[in-house]
Amino acid sequence: MQPAIQRQSVDISAYPELVMIMLGFRLRTWRGLQALRRIGPGLNQIARERPEGLLAHEGMMFGLTHFGFRQYWRDIETLERFTRGEPHADWWRRIREMSAGAGFWHETYHAKGGVEALYVAMPGPVGLQHFAPRRDPVGPFLSARARVQGGLAGAA
């Protein structure tokens, strides 16, 4: 007789505004290692110190030159507060310089509905890019919140 397989689930009812974000980094050239050296300490600090609202932070490998993180945030407000502070704000101020040899991306999924994504200097499609039509993040579609709301409006 085979042993029973243990199955588990979770109760997320205490997190009605849960937000999951997947973040990726892909080396395109050796120069991308400079960007990795710049963001690595900040990512380690985030995982170690857990900013307010960050519930979990996990690393992932998509390939030898492509890796990322999955984070769960209590709500969009705490995630947005984090993105406006350091080290995240510094990364975005230097995105042109850091993307010289690397690509970056994120996809954000909201429990209350809505998905948004952003891809910077990626050498090929990843995630939602495999099937969703392209839309440039300009004008009212520039912020993550606007992209989520735009996606909800487009689905209605």
Where are the chain's structural domains?
A: 19-155
Would you say residue 26 has pLDDT above 60? yes
Averaged pLDDT of the chain: 87
Instruction: Report the SS3 class of residue 34.
Output: helix
The whole-model pTM stands at 0.85
Tokens 């519930």 label which residue? 55
Residue with the larger pLDDT of the pair 85 and 113:
113
Query: Thinking of the domain 19-155, which architecture would CATH place it in?
Result: 2-Layer Sandwich (3.30)
Sheet with 115-120, side-by-side order of all strands: 54-63, 66-73, 19-27, 102-110, 115-120
Give the model confidence (pLDDT) of 37-90 as tens digits: 887 788 888 888 899 999 999 999 999 999 999 999 999 999 999 888 877 777
